Every structure is written in C-alpha cells, then in structure tokens.
Chains A and B, each alone.
Chain A
C-alpha cells in the first residue's frame, strides 16, 4: 500500500487506475490484522487456509487484469481516432499550405 501511495504521490500512477490496487491493499491489511477471518472463510468454503488466500489474491489479480484490458481497449480506440483526425488535419494543412504558396507567388 505504501508503494501504491508513493506512486500516486509522485504522480506516476493515476488515481483512476489505483483504486483496485488500493482496494486489494485494504483487504490484505484487514486480513493481516484479523487473521481469524481467513480461518472463518476457510471453514465456510471447506478449504485450507493457504488455498483461501490463493483464491482471494487470484480474484483480485483477475479483476485488475480485466480492468487493464478495458483501459487498453479505450486507449487503442482513442489512438485510432487520433491517427485518423491527424491524417485529415495533415491533408488540410497541406492543401492550405499549397494555396498559401500559390497566393504568395501570385502577389
């Protein structure tokens, strides 16, 4: 959690993306303060202590990866749109540039 905070503080990680990490940090913190809770969950699920821990951490990692996938999808979509706009702008600029030089030559 300290690492996550430090990353946010130094603006290397946007708050938007850190929510899930913070959440998993909080959960780990809760479990380390009250280790009995893990025992309880293990008994309810009928699994060993270690397995429960693995399952929980796996779930969180899964969520984080899923979150990343959506972020990447958005980014690539925006990237595509930017490229398209850029190419159109570039075309317009070239046209204007041509017109401008023609005009200057005429005068």
Chain B
C-alpha cells in the first residue's frame, strides 16, 4: 500500500451518538495514518461532540440536508484539502473498519476509479429479509445491465474513490438516492468500477434508511430516478490530465503559523494587550 497517499475516511452521521465514537476508534486502529471526517447532518443529539472528542474532523450542518448533501460535503472537503483517496463508511457500525484497508488496496493495485464493498458478491450468510434480497437481486441486475458490468450490491455505502472521482463528486453528486445513482453517473463519465466482497455486521444502533416494507416502493423510485438520470446531460468526462493538482488549497497556513496571517493576528493581539 502506498503510504504517501493522503486518505480521508468520510462518515456521514445523523443522530448516531451510540455508535459513531466506536466507529472512529476502530477506524483509527486499522488505519492510523488516515484522517477521519464526520459529517454531522444536523443531528439533534451529541453526534458532533462525541466525534470531536474522539479526534475526528467534523463538518456541522445547521439542519438536516440528507445523505446526498452530506456525502458531497465530504467529497468537497476531500477535494479542497487535496486528499488522494476518499473512503465512505456508515456511522452505524455496519461496516467493519478493518476492511477499509482492503478497499484501498484494491483501489491502488487495480488502477480503478471506484471500489465498491459488496455484501452479496460471495454468498456469505448476511442476515437480510427475503423480500429485500429479492428486490436487491432484481435491482442489481437492472443496474448491471445499464452499467454493462456485473454489480451485486448497488446500494452499498461502503466505497473508496480516487482523486478523479472525488473531483467529479465534489462538483456533482446525486441527492435523492445517492448510492445507486452515483454508480450510473460514474459509468456515464467513463470511470471504472470494481466490486469486492466484504463482511458486514448487522446494525448496532440507529435506523436503516430503508425498511423492509418500503423496499419495493424504494426500488421503483430509484429505478425512476436512474432512468431520469440516463436522460440527463452527461457530466464532464474524465480529464485527460494524468493527475489533477488544480485548485488544491494550501492548508499549510494552518500548520506553520510563523509566516502567515495567524502571526499578524497574534501580533495585533499582543499590541492590544500592551
């Protein structure tokens, strides 16, 4: 694994105070050199405070904007701060942080743009209702057909993206049903996707955004959204430049305060005191 690449773990959280701290700790254990960013999507509980206490970077939304907007804020952050790899991970403890490494390794070694963690690729017993699995199966097949590549777990929120994809997502990220729609978006932009098998825990806290009874309704809505997406104008395709260095903000001013605006502020502060 290339150690020089800067990695950002994006964890969108909405009222996940029970699990977010544990997720941060476990993530840090398995990936000590990665930065962890929690996006607090207008939580009414102490999600933000707990995340800060556990040493994560936190973006606070003043009100709930939905998972799509939260994820995009994460990608915007990753793009602005010049991260090479962004991994998205749920805050409810379903994703095992130990497997983030697997995602990143696959991303680097296989030269793909996005790596998707799938629950169903290998048929390990993952407890999930029958109706939901059936729905997933039909749904995945349709999406695989559109993308022209076999995908088994299109709603997986466990994925790693390279700088190209970070750039695209920071400019455009679907808001209604971000996980499957983002795949279609990437496919149309000419990016490569690879799926790998992962294990998942059953959830420890919080609620799924999709309940079993609503899964059929959800499926129909997502399919509609995807077909509408297909009709939309295609987004900017992959840039021909090998590496995109543009628009990376200089974050050093935060670190070495000696030669920066901070210095001036300090001097002003001292003058005021004197």
A100 and B265 in contact, given A87-B61, A88-B59 (Cβ under 8 angstroms) = yes
A99 to B270 Cα, complex, angstroms: 16
A16 an interface residue at 8 Å Cβ cutoff?
A: no
B257 an interface residue at 8 Å Cβ cutoff?
A: yes
Q: Report which of B58, B76, B77, B254 forms a contact with A96, defined as CB distance below 8 A.
A: B254
How many chain A residues have a CB neighbour from B under 8 Å? Answer: 17
A91 and B77 in contact, given A80-B65, A83-B61, A99-B254 (Cβ under 8 angstroms) = yes
Determine whether the beta carbon of A84 is less than 8 Å from that of B62. no
Complex interface: chain A residues within 8 A of B59 (CB): 87-88, 90-91
Contact with A along B195-221 (1 / 0, CB 8 A): 000000000000000000000000000
A86 an interface residue at 8 Å Cβ cutoff?
A: yes
Chain A, Cβ-Cβ closest to B265? A100
A100 and B266 in contact, given A83-B62, A91-B59 (Cβ under 8 angstroms) = yes
Interface of B is mostly: helix
Chain B, Cβ-Cβ closest to A91? B59
B114 an interface residue at 8 Å Cβ cutoff?
A: no
Chain A positions within 8 Å of B, measured between CB atoms, are 80, 83-88, 90-92, 95-96, 99-100, 103-104, 107
Question: What are 16 A-to-B residue pairs whose CB atoms are below 8 Å?
Answer: A83-B69, A84-B73, A85-B76, A86-B62, A87-B60, A88-B59, A88-B77, A91-B58, A91-B77, A92-B254, A95-B254, A100-B265, A103-B257, A103-B263, A107-B266, A107-B270
